[in-house]
Copies of this chain bind each other. A is one copy, B any other.
Amino acid sequence: MATIAPSRRVRRTPFSDGVEAAGVKSYTVYNRMLLPTVFRSVEEDYHHLKSAVQVWDVSVERQVELRGPDAGRLMQMLTPRDLRGMLPGMCYYVPLVDGTGGMLNDPVALMLADDRYWLSIADSDLLLWVKGLAHALYLDVIVEEPDVSPLAIQGPHADELASRIFGDAVKDLRFFRYGFFDFQGKQMLVARSGYSKQGGFEVYVEGTANGMPLWNALMEAGKDLDVYAGCPNLIERIEGGLLSYGNDMTRDNTPHECGLGRFCSTQTAIGCVGRDALLRVAKEGPVKQVRAIAIDGEIPPCDRLWNITIPGKDVVIGQLTSAAKSPDFNTNVAIGMVRMTHWDAGTELQIETQDGPRRGVVQENFWL
């Protein structure tokens, strides 16, 4: 396996020292920053995530900050989701699209004030898109990336661990709400959110220097809970149907193809980029859509698109984009985009991996 080359361009995070001390074995690069992918092994990390509690360096969820009188107007321009009900303290999952309705990113938006928002982004330089629009439209808004790095606390014991650091009140946070909690005299923004189905929090750590003190405090406070360094887990996130921008969706896809049509209030989200294109899609429905797919047999790493064909025929009816062997469900769990002619649960598919074809079956739901 090839190593990852060191350079300043692939940025370290406020928690990199902790990640290295915990023995990180593998990285990916996400938003031009290091994201750990394996500590002990993907399988060990998976079982541990489901049974204990992990601290994740997800600094790669960079923030795009919108600040100024036009921040709210620009926010609604960016997404087909209707933001009129949004208030400070709320997080919204928002698909963002270009003029043709193609996905540019799928961040979590945080409203900090009437005139201030953060977009906690997936893997694309969304900053440049937002800056381009703001510049060309002469909007009264500043668009920048602040020194904010999320640290996630995920797993069944996440509430217990977080409460030991931030106090019991943190347990009262509802899903996709945030509040400010004291840590060593500093107010930290803590949201109930995270890229796993095991539950937990994300702490938006402001200021690089505040990173390692929080990391160390969590590791110390959680010893009896078997806390350990972790990271978004390939197996668990596929089981849970958590899509990954760049893997399971790209600029080629509309939100509706990604199963995100429920976040598109195209009728009421007046002024959003891509509205015309998405009104059309909403009316007619997508012709292909994301599906959970089980795959038989041994599979190689899914490091490229796998074509999905009709068994016995050389006709491509989709692409498979993420796959991993699931210990708990005793099959290979996978995510793919399938044409409507073959997207019903139970449909047999042929998956063209680099190691040859495999049998796949469309599932009714993800593995929850």
Contacts and interface: CB of A to CB of B under 8 A. Distances in A.
Interface of A: 1-10, 12, 24-30, 32, 37-38, 98-99, 104, 123-126, 128-133, 135-137, 244-247, 273, 301-305, 321-322
B129 A301 contact: no
B135 A135 contact: no
A283 B196 CA distance: 53
A304 B128 contact: no
Contacts of A25: 2-3
A26 B3 contact: yes
Contacts of A126: 128
Nearest to A24: B2
Contacts of A303: 6-8, 10, 12
8 contacts: A1-B3, A2-B3, A2-B27, A3-B4, A4-B28, A7-B303, A7-B322, A128-B129
A137 B99 CA distance: 12
Contacts of A131: 98-99, 129, 132
B28 A5 contact: yes
Given A12-B303, A304-B12, A7 B132 contact: no
A337 to B, nearest CB: 12
Given A128-B104, A128-B128, A247-B9, A123 B4 contact: no
Contacts of A128: 104, 124-126, 128-129, 132
Contacts of A30: 9
Given A3-B2, A4-B26, A136-B137, A9 B129 contact: no
Contacts of A38: 5
A26 B9 contact: no
A242 to B, nearest CB: 13
B8 A28 contact: no
Contacts of A27: 2-5
Given A3-B1, A26-B2, A123-B32, A8 B247 contact: yes
A102 B304 CA distance: 35
A142 to B, nearest CB: 10
A130 B315 CA distance: 36
Contact of A9 (B2, B5, B246, B301): B246
A246 B12 contact: no
A7 B130 contact: no
Contacts of A37: 5
A37 B247 CA distance: 24
Given A5-B28, A12-B304, 11 more contacts: A2-B4, A3-B3, A4-B26, A4-B28, A7-B246, A7-B322, A8-B247, A8-B322, A9-B245, A9-B247, A32-B123
Given A38-B5, A135-B99, A124 B125 contact: yes
A136 B273 CA distance: 9
Nearest to A3: B1
Contacts of A129: 128-129, 131-132
Nearest to A319: B8
Contacts of A133: 132, 135-136
Contacts of A98: 131, 135
Contacts of A104: 128
